[in-house]
Amino acid sequence: EPEVTQTPSHQVTQMGQEVILRCVPISNHLYFYWYRQILGQKVEFLVSFYNNEISEKSEIFDDQFSVERPDGSNFTLKIRSTKLEDSAMYFCASIQTDTQYFGPGTRLTVL
Amino acid sequence: AQSVTQLGSHVSVSEGALVLLRCNYSSSVPPYLFWYVQYPNQGLQLLLKYTTGATLVKGINGFEAEFKKSETSFHLTKPSAHMSDAAEYFCAVSPGNNDYKLSFGAGTTVTVRA
Protein backbone atom coordinates (compact mmCIF):
# COMPACT_ATOMS: atom_id res chain seq x y z
CA GLU A 1 0.00 0.00 0.00
CA PRO A 2 1.42 3.41 -0.94
CA GLU A 3 2.39 5.64 1.93
CA VAL A 4 3.74 9.08 2.67
CA THR A 5 7.39 9.08 3.69
CA GLN A 6 9.37 11.75 5.52
CA THR A 7 13.06 12.33 6.10
CA PRO A 8 14.83 12.69 8.37
CA SER A 9 12.97 11.09 11.23
CA HIS A 10 14.81 13.30 13.71
CA GLN A 11 16.66 16.57 13.09
CA VAL A 12 18.66 18.42 15.71
CA THR A 13 19.79 21.93 14.87
CA GLN A 14 21.13 25.05 16.49
CA MET A 15 18.95 28.10 16.86
CA GLY A 16 19.29 30.36 13.83
CA GLN A 17 20.16 27.56 11.43
CA GLU A 18 18.16 26.65 8.36
CA VAL A 19 16.47 23.27 8.16
CA ILE A 20 14.75 21.48 5.32
CA LEU A 21 12.24 18.77 6.07
CA ARG A 22 11.47 16.41 3.23
CA CYS A 23 8.35 14.52 2.31
CA VAL A 24 7.44 12.18 -0.51
CA PRO A 25 3.64 12.21 -0.88
CA ILE A 26 1.67 9.38 -2.39
CA SER A 27 2.31 9.56 -6.11
CA ASN A 28 -1.14 10.31 -7.54
CA HIS A 29 -2.15 12.78 -4.84
CA LEU A 30 -2.47 16.42 -5.75
CA TYR A 31 -2.94 18.29 -2.48
CA PHE A 32 -0.20 18.42 0.11
CA TYR A 33 -0.12 19.69 3.67
CA TRP A 34 2.26 20.37 6.51
CA TYR A 35 1.17 20.21 10.12
CA ARG A 36 3.11 20.43 13.33
CA GLN A 37 2.62 19.13 16.83
CA ILE A 38 4.46 20.79 19.67
CA LEU A 39 4.99 18.35 22.52
CA GLY A 40 1.82 18.05 24.54
CA GLN A 41 -0.22 20.27 22.23
CA LYS A 42 -2.68 19.90 19.38
CA VAL A 43 -1.72 19.05 15.85
CA GLU A 44 -1.78 22.40 14.03
CA PHE A 45 -2.20 23.17 10.37
CA LEU A 46 0.69 25.06 8.78
CA VAL A 47 0.16 25.17 5.03
CA SER A 48 -1.58 23.54 2.10
CA PHE A 49 -0.14 23.29 -1.39
CA TYR A 50 -1.80 22.59 -4.69
CA ASN A 51 -0.76 23.00 -8.29
CA ASN A 52 2.71 24.20 -7.30
CA GLU A 53 1.53 27.00 -5.11
CA ILE A 54 0.36 27.64 -1.58
CA SER A 55 -3.41 27.44 -1.36
CA GLU A 56 -3.73 28.33 2.31
CA LYS A 57 -1.44 29.05 5.23
CA SER A 58 -1.90 29.57 8.93
CA GLU A 59 -0.70 32.42 11.12
CA ILE A 60 2.15 30.20 12.22
CA PHE A 61 3.47 30.02 8.66
CA ASP A 62 5.36 33.30 8.65
CA ASP A 63 8.20 34.53 6.44
CA GLN A 64 10.59 32.09 8.07
CA PHE A 65 8.74 29.19 6.48
CA SER A 66 8.58 28.16 2.86
CA VAL A 67 7.44 25.13 0.90
CA GLU A 68 8.20 23.85 -2.53
CA ARG A 69 7.87 20.81 -4.73
CA PRO A 70 11.26 20.90 -6.44
CA ASP A 71 11.06 17.82 -8.62
CA GLY A 72 7.50 16.61 -8.90
CA SER A 73 7.85 14.00 -6.18
CA ASN A 74 9.42 15.62 -3.12
CA PHE A 75 7.60 18.21 -1.04
CA THR A 76 9.78 20.24 1.29
CA LEU A 77 9.30 22.54 4.24
CA LYS A 78 12.10 24.99 4.90
CA ILE A 79 12.59 26.98 8.05
CA ARG A 80 15.13 29.72 7.34
CA SER A 81 16.24 30.65 10.83
CA THR A 82 15.05 28.24 13.45
CA LYS A 83 13.85 29.35 16.86
CA LEU A 84 13.56 27.34 20.04
CA GLU A 85 9.79 27.37 19.70
CA ASP A 86 10.03 25.62 16.32
CA SER A 87 10.86 22.42 18.17
CA ALA A 88 8.01 20.08 17.30
CA MET A 89 6.98 17.05 15.30
CA TYR A 90 6.29 18.04 11.71
CA PHE A 91 3.87 15.94 9.69
CA CYS A 92 3.41 15.93 5.97
CA ALA A 93 0.14 14.75 4.50
CA SER A 94 -1.26 14.19 1.05
CA ILE A 95 -4.87 13.80 0.10
CA GLN A 96 -6.95 11.47 -1.97
CA THR A 97 -10.56 12.59 -2.42
CA ASP A 98 -11.47 13.72 1.10
CA THR A 99 -8.94 11.93 3.29
CA GLN A 100 -5.47 12.99 4.34
CA TYR A 101 -2.76 10.40 4.66
CA PHE A 102 0.02 11.32 7.03
CA GLY A 103 3.69 10.55 7.02
CA PRO A 104 5.48 9.32 10.15
CA GLY A 105 6.76 12.80 10.98
CA THR A 106 10.08 14.52 11.53
CA ARG A 107 10.95 15.43 15.07
CA LEU A 108 12.76 18.78 14.99
CA THR A 109 14.77 19.75 18.03
CA VAL A 110 16.17 23.28 18.14
CA LEU A 111 18.92 23.85 20.71
CA ALA B 1 -14.48 28.07 11.10
CA GLN B 2 -14.16 24.59 12.51
CA SER B 3 -13.09 23.42 15.96
CA VAL B 4 -13.05 20.19 17.90
CA THR B 5 -13.33 19.46 21.59
CA GLN B 6 -12.29 16.11 22.97
CA LEU B 7 -13.59 15.50 26.46
CA GLY B 8 -11.05 13.78 28.63
CA SER B 9 -7.36 13.99 27.89
CA HIS B 10 -6.77 10.57 29.37
CA VAL B 11 -8.95 7.47 29.47
CA SER B 12 -8.05 4.26 31.25
CA VAL B 13 -9.97 1.06 30.52
CA SER B 14 -9.64 -2.58 31.43
CA GLU B 15 -8.86 -5.09 28.74
CA GLY B 16 -12.17 -6.30 27.33
CA ALA B 17 -14.11 -3.24 28.47
CA LEU B 18 -15.87 -0.68 26.32
CA VAL B 19 -13.79 2.16 24.95
CA LEU B 20 -15.65 5.46 24.57
CA LEU B 21 -13.87 8.58 23.40
CA ARG B 22 -15.90 11.75 23.14
CA CYS B 23 -15.64 14.34 20.40
CA ASN B 24 -17.78 17.41 19.84
CA TYR B 25 -17.29 19.72 16.94
CA SER B 26 -18.21 23.19 15.83
CA SER B 27 -18.63 23.88 12.15
CA SER B 28 -20.31 26.52 10.03
CA VAL B 29 -20.87 24.00 7.23
CA PRO B 30 -21.71 20.28 7.16
CA PRO B 31 -18.45 18.83 8.40
CA TYR B 32 -16.27 15.98 7.38
CA LEU B 33 -15.20 14.17 10.55
CA PHE B 34 -12.24 11.93 11.21
CA TRP B 35 -10.64 9.89 13.93
CA TYR B 36 -6.90 9.31 13.77
CA VAL B 37 -4.75 7.17 16.05
CA GLN B 38 -1.13 7.83 16.94
CA TYR B 39 0.95 5.06 18.41
CA PRO B 40 4.12 6.03 20.29
CA ASN B 41 6.77 7.51 18.01
CA GLN B 42 4.61 7.01 14.94
CA GLY B 43 2.53 9.17 12.62
CA LEU B 44 -1.21 9.62 12.41
CA GLN B 45 -3.19 6.69 11.08
CA LEU B 46 -6.76 7.07 9.88
CA LEU B 47 -9.22 5.02 11.94
CA LEU B 48 -12.45 6.09 10.26
CA LYS B 49 -14.24 9.00 8.69
CA TYR B 50 -17.67 10.44 8.10
CA THR B 51 -18.38 12.55 5.04
CA THR B 52 -21.95 11.86 3.94
CA GLY B 53 -24.47 9.05 4.10
CA ALA B 54 -24.75 6.54 6.91
CA THR B 55 -24.13 8.21 10.24
CA LEU B 56 -22.66 5.11 11.88
CA VAL B 57 -19.28 4.46 10.39
CA LYS B 58 -17.01 1.52 10.98
CA GLY B 59 -13.27 1.73 10.93
CA ILE B 60 -10.23 -0.39 11.41
CA ASN B 61 -9.39 -2.42 14.49
CA GLY B 62 -13.04 -2.78 15.53
CA PHE B 63 -13.68 0.92 16.11
CA GLU B 64 -16.81 2.74 15.07
CA ALA B 65 -18.22 6.22 15.45
CA GLU B 66 -21.62 7.81 15.06
CA PHE B 67 -22.24 11.25 13.63
CA LYS B 68 -25.03 12.98 15.57
CA LYS B 69 -25.81 16.31 14.00
CA SER B 70 -28.27 17.34 16.72
CA GLU B 71 -25.58 16.84 19.37
CA THR B 72 -22.67 18.00 17.17
CA SER B 73 -20.87 14.87 18.26
CA PHE B 74 -18.77 12.14 16.71
CA HIS B 75 -17.91 9.81 19.57
CA LEU B 76 -15.60 6.85 19.00
CA THR B 77 -16.33 3.45 20.49
CA LYS B 78 -14.94 -0.03 20.59
CA PRO B 79 -16.89 -2.77 22.41
CA SER B 80 -13.89 -4.61 23.82
CA ALA B 81 -10.52 -3.00 24.45
CA HIS B 82 -7.31 -4.77 23.59
CA MET B 83 -3.86 -4.01 24.94
CA SER B 84 -2.83 -2.92 21.45
CA ASP B 85 -5.40 -0.09 21.58
CA ALA B 86 -3.16 1.89 23.91
CA ALA B 87 -2.39 5.02 21.92
CA GLU B 88 -3.40 8.63 21.47
CA TYR B 89 -6.59 9.32 19.55
CA PHE B 90 -7.38 12.51 17.70
CA CYS B 91 -10.72 13.71 16.43
CA ALA B 92 -10.53 16.10 13.50
CA VAL B 93 -12.89 18.10 11.31
CA SER B 94 -12.62 19.62 7.87
CA PRO B 95 -15.11 21.77 5.96
CA GLY B 96 -15.15 19.51 2.91
CA ASN B 97 -16.21 20.99 -0.43
CA ASN B 98 -12.62 21.00 -1.69
CA ASP B 99 -11.34 22.46 1.59
CA TYR B 100 -9.73 19.58 3.43
CA LYS B 101 -7.64 21.41 6.00
CA LEU B 102 -7.99 19.53 9.26
CA SER B 103 -8.64 21.07 12.65
CA PHE B 104 -7.69 18.67 15.41
CA GLY B 105 -8.83 18.13 18.94
CA ALA B 106 -6.30 18.03 21.74
CA GLY B 107 -6.22 14.25 21.75
CA THR B 108 -7.15 11.54 24.22
CA THR B 109 -4.56 9.12 25.51
CA VAL B 110 -5.92 5.63 26.07
CA THR B 111 -4.29 3.22 28.46
CA VAL B 112 -5.47 -0.37 28.74
CA ARG B 113 -5.15 -2.24 32.03
CA ALA B 114 -4.59 -5.97 32.00
From first to last of its 114 residues, chain B has per-residue pLDDT tens of: 789 999 999 999 999 999 999 999 998 788 899 999 999 878 899 999 999 999 999 999 999 999 999 999 999 999 999 999 999 999 999 987 778 899 999 999 999 999
Of B42, B100, B104, the CB nearest to A43: B104
Q: Residues of B with CB below 8 A from A103's CB?
A: 43
Can you tell me whether residue B44 is helix, strand or coil?
strand
- Count of beta carbons in the 10 Å neighbourhood of residue B85: 20
CA distance A74 to chain B (A): 18
Are the beta carbons of A33 and B46 separated by less than 8 Å?
no
The CA distance from A98 to A21, in Å, is 25
Q: Does A24 touch chain B (CB under 8 A)?
A: no
Contacts of residue B91, defined as CB under 8 A and 6 or more positions apart, other chains included, come to B4, B6, B21, B23, B25, B33, B34, B35, B74, B76, B104, B105
Per-residue pLDDT tens over the stretch A6-46 = 999 999 999 999 999 999 999 888 899 999 999 988 899 99
